[in-house]
Amino acid sequence: MFANKSFWHAGHRPTLLAAFLYFDLAFMVWVILGPLGVQIAKDLALTHTEKGLMVATPVLAGAILRIVMGLLVDHLKPKTAGAIGQVIVIVTLFVAWYFGIHSYAQTLVLGAFLGVAGASFAVALPLASRWYPPEHQGTALGIAGAGNSGTAVAALVAPSLAIAFGWVNVFGLALIPLILVFIFYMIVARDAPECPPPKSLAEYMKVLKDKDSWWFMFFYSVTFGGFVGLASSLTIYFNTQYGLDAKTAGFFTAACVFAGSMVRPIGGNVADRIGGIKSLSVMYVVAAVFLTIVSFGLPQAWMALVVFVCAMLALGMGNGAVFQLVPQRFRKEIGVMTGLVGMAGGIGGFYLASSLGYAKQATGSYQIGFLIFAALAVLALAGLTGVKTRWRTTWGAAHLTAAKI
C-alpha cells in the first residue's frame, strides 16, 4: 500500500517522532553513569577497573534485556512494550534520586536497572519500521535510531548539573523530560496495522539457526558497540588521559557522540541509495583507521577529539547501514531480530567500555583496548566481503527489487 509514495507520505510521522523521542530520552539515561563517572568515582574512590565496569554494566544489561523487549514487542506490540519499559526506568531513577547511591555495589545495581532504558532499542525501531516499506527502511530506522543522540545530551548536560546540584540529584532532574515524553508517546504513538501475530519462544530461536542472523549480530557489535562503548567511556577517558575537568570532558564527549548519532539517518539514507553492503564496508575501514590512530595517545586533547569525532561518524553511519539491511532480510522477524542484533551491539559496547578500564589498570595505557576493537572492525569488513555476493544473489535479488543491498 506504500508503493510509489515518498518517504514523508509512506508511513506514520507522529509514531516516528514518538519513537525518536522515546529512544532519545532512554539513551540519555542509559549512559548517564558515564558523564557522571568523574564525580561518582571521586566520591566513591573507584579504581580504573571499577570505573570501566560501572559504565559498562548498563550497556551489558541493556544488551541482555533487548531480547526480552524483542519478545514483548511481538507479543504485546511495540507501543505497549515501550510503555512498560518507560515506567520501569522512571521508577528506577526516582528510587536512585530519593534514596541516593552510597557504594560501588549500588552503582552496579542501578546500572543493571538502567539497562531497561538501553533495551528501548528493541522497541523504538520496530515501532517505526513496521510503518515503512523496504525502500524507506534505512531512512526510517535512521531517524528513529538517531535517538541515540540522547547520549550526547547526557554528556553535555549531566556533568554541569552534577556540579550545580550534586550528581545524585541529576537522576531526579532527568525524571522531568522522561515523564513529558512518556505522556506524548502514549498520546500519539500507534502500532502499525501489519504487526505480525505472536510466536512462541521456540519459533523466535529458529532465527538463530540462520547464519545471516549471526553475521548481522557481529556487524552491529562493532558499529553500535563502538559507538555506545565510546559514549560511555570518553568523559572518564578525557579526564584521566588529559586532565580535563568533568564539565570540559563532558563537552568533548558530547561533540563526539553528537557526531555519531546525528549521522545515523544519513548512514541509513546513503545505504538506501548505494546499498548497505557498500556503505558499511567503507565505514569499517574508516573506523579501524581512526581507532588505531587514537590508540597511540595523541599529545593534545583537541587532537584526540578530532580523531574520535571521525571514528564516531563512521560508526554512526555504520549503525544506519546495518539497519538498512536487517529489515530486508528478516522483515517478518524484525522484532526478535532487532532484539538479537541490538543485544550483540550492547555486548560490543560492554566489551569496549570495560576493556578500556582493564587496559588502563593493567598497563597504564588505553592502547590495547582501542587496538583490539580496531582489529574487530577489520574482521567485520572481512566477514562482510565474504557474504556480500551470496546476499546480493539470493534474498537481495529475489524479494526486494525496490531496495538496494
Residue in 233, 192, 249, 180 with CA at minimum distance from that of residue 356: 233
pLDDT score of 398: 57
- Dump pLDDT digits (tens) for 134-170: 777 677 777 877 777 888 899 999 999 999 999 999 9
Mean pLDDT, to the nearest integer, of 87-98?
Answer: 98
pLDDT score of 71: 82
| C-alpha cell at position 11 | 508511513
Average pLDDT, the chain: 89
The alpha carbons of the chain give a radius of gyration, in whole angstroms, of 20
Distance CA 292, CA 140 (A): 32
> What domains can be seen in the chain, in order of their start residue?
14-190+208-398 (1.20.1250.20)
- Dump pLDDT digits (tens) for 100-127: 999 999 999 999 999 999 999 888 888 8
- Dump pLDDT digits (tens) for 42-76: 999 999 999 999 999 999 999 999 888 888 887 88
- Dump pLDDT digits (tens) for 362-403: 999 999 999 999 999 999 999 999 998 888 888 766 554 456
Distance CA 234, CA 224 (A): 15
- Dump pLDDT digits (tens) for 292-304: 999 999 999 999 9
Residue in 198, 216, 196, 171 with CA at minimum distance from that of residue 348: 216
- What share of the chain in percent tops pLDDT 90? 65
- What share of the chain in percent tops pLDDT 70? 93
**Residue 264 half-sphere exposure toward CB, CA atoms < 13 A:** 28
Q: Between 33 and 207, whose confidence is greater? A: 33
Mean pLDDT, to the nearest integer, of 16-37?
Answer: 94
CB 342 within 8 A of CB 64: no
pTM of the predicted structure, to 2 decimals:
0.84
Question: Residue 197: pLDDT above 80?
Answer: no
pLDDT score of 335: 65
pLDDT score of 315: 96
Question: Residue 320: pLDDT above 80?
Answer: yes
pLDDT score of 329: 85
Residue 1: which pLDDT band, with cuts at 50, 70 and 90? Answer: very low
